[in-house]
Structure 1
Amino acid sequence: MALTQQHFDSADALTEQFATTLTRLLKEGIDKRGRASLVVSGGRTPLALFKTLSETELEWSKVDITLADERWVDESDEASNTRLVKQNLIQNKASEANFVSLKTDHNDAADGIAEAESRLSSLTQPFDALILGMGEDGHTASLFPCSAQVEDGLNMSSGKICIAVQPTTAPHQRISLTLPALLNSRNIFIHLTGDAKKRVLEEAIANDTELDKPVTAVVNRAPVTLMWAP
């Protein structure tokens, strides 16, 4: 386990430093490999980060952006992570970035897996940077401890890039990158704010199994940087 913790006095200070770090990593990816790839998560926590990144000077036309997970809803739905990313990140200077959606036109996420995996295969891998969030139940991406699919999602030898997930404690069917797909990243960040989330993470690492708190599966297997502010 290798968890590096970066604590900031405020969410604004975190956002400023995190945006600087991500810009540097993406620039390095472009300089070394011609393109860079960024995997992000939805929710309210990264909104300020997305807006700051969108104003950053970078060769955005050489950056591919995708999601760690997506709710299986239309982009017009307020629950759509795709909508959130397009409205907050793929804007301003970052409007030239290439967004790769996990959501397909299939009615069931399970039927869209092959197409989603094909889309992801076009991205530079390992991903240059992965930003994960975490729920109060210890889920990350859409690897929910309450779901029947969590074991499949954490399986390191399945060869799967994406799985369909049906949480029992949250709305909407989901599509999620699997644990091995998430770990296929050069730089992994967990982005949290507030004491409660930090406490959940620390207690999960200390006391819980990976099936109980899937976020621990990431921390157990790769160097991870926690970006946290009160």
Structure 2
Amino acid sequence: MMSRSEHLFSNQEALIEALSQSILANLQKAIDEKGKASLLVSGGSTPKPLFEKLRKALFDWDKVTVGLCDERWVDTSQEESNEHFVKKYLLQEEAAKAHFIGMYCKDTDIYMAQKVCTQKMKEILSPFDVLILGMGTDAHTASLFPENIKLEEAFDLKNENFCITIEPTTAPYTRMSLTLHAILSAKHIYLHFEGKEKIAVYEEAIGGEDIYTMPIRSVLNQEIKEIEVFYR
């Protein structure tokens, strides 16, 4: 099994400093190698301090294209939109120079948009250089929720679609999510979470095998890519 690099911190400031420096170093490697880099990020409350740190970095942000790991299918003007969140907290200050490719397609049915999103991801963002995942207390990651009817398709590594529509039964809004195939295609994958409750979820996840009850296991317990886990 591929190793997980675990980085446990006692305080948020130290975690954010170390994680942001690691992310920037890997983005810089990509820029040095090919003149550009792609960064895929997640929503939720956890990444906000990370975004506020990254956006201040003196960096070649104009050579970085930012995308999403998942999106709620709501207009991007709404607070619930991950695109709205990323533009508000990450794509500011120095990072305002970065390019952004969203998932949401206005006036497009989400099931039709699945193909459009996959095409955009492959043509503009792929290969993914850095991808940052979060984890819910229910062990979901991106918008891959436990026991969802679409998980078998989402976990199928032979499924070449990068995006999949998800109707969560335990959370609001229809979603667009990266598939496991897309996530594991990234060169550098980070998992970032904070809090005792999530630490307990993480410890349960790495100790078991059922990926349908705990979708984060599909990323943590696989043999394809190393995952760097930053947590406190």
TM-score > 0.5 by shorter chain = yes
* Structure 2: segments with no counterpart, 5+ residues: none
Instruction: Give the superposition deviation at 1:179.
Output: 0.1
Counterpart of 1:227, as a letter, is F
* Structure 1: segments with no counterpart, 5+ residues: none
Residue 231 of structure 2 is aligned to residue 228 of structure 1: yes
- Number of equivalences: 229
Aligned mates of 2:5, 2:176 — CA distance in 1: 28
Query: How do 1:10-25 and structure 2 match up within 5 A?
Result: 10-25=11-26
Residue 64 of structure 2 is aligned to residue 92 of structure 1: no
Paired position in structure 2 for 1:122: 123
Q: Deviations over 1:76-124 (max 9, x none)?
A: 1111000000000001001010110011124531111122122112335
Residue 179 of structure 2 is aligned to residue 187 of structure 1: no
Question: 1:124/1:168 Cα in 2 relative to 1: closer, same or farther (>3 Å)?
Answer: closer
Q: Which has the higher mean CA deviation after the structures are superposed, 166-175 or 126-135?
A: 126-135
Paired position in structure 2 for 1:81: 82
SS in structure 2 of the partner of residue 27 of structure 1? helix
SS in structure 1 of the partner of residue 207 of structure 2? helix
| Identity level (%) | 38
Q: TM-score, normalised by structure 2?
A: 0.95
Aligned mates of 1:137, 1:107 — CA distance in 2: 30
Aligned mates of 2:178, 2:60 — CA distance in 1: 26
Instruction: Give the superposition deviation at 1:16.
Output: 1.0
Q: TM-score, normalised by structure 1?
A: 0.96
Q: Which has the higher mean CA deviation after the structures are superposed, 9-18 or 99-108?
A: 99-108
2:209, 2:221 within 8 Å by CA — same for their partners in 1? Answer: no
Aligned mates of 1:72, 1:33 — CA distance in 2: 33
Q: Deviations over 1:52-85 (max 9, x none)?
A: 1001011111101101000000011111000000
Aligned mates of 2:107, 2:179 — CA distance in 1: 20
Aligned mates of 2:194, 2:124 — CA distance in 1: 29
Paired position in structure 2 for 1:217: 218
Counterpart of 1:51, as a letter, is E
Q: Deviations over 1:112-157 (max 9, x none)?
A: 1122122112335331111000111111001111321111111111
1:146, 1:169 within 8 Å by CA — same for their partners in 2? Answer: no
Residue 57 of structure 2 is aligned to residue 61 of structure 1: no
Counterpart of 1:165, as a letter, is I
After TM superposition, the runs of 4+ consecutive aligned structure 1 residues lying more than 4 A away are none
Q: How big is the alpha-carbon RMSD for the aligned residues of Structure 1 and Structure 2?
A: 1.2
SS in structure 1 of the partner of residue 123 of structure 2? coil
Aligned mates of 2:209, 2:139 — CA distance in 1: 10
SS in structure 1 of the partner of residue 228 of structure 2? strand
Counterpart of 2:152, as a letter, is E
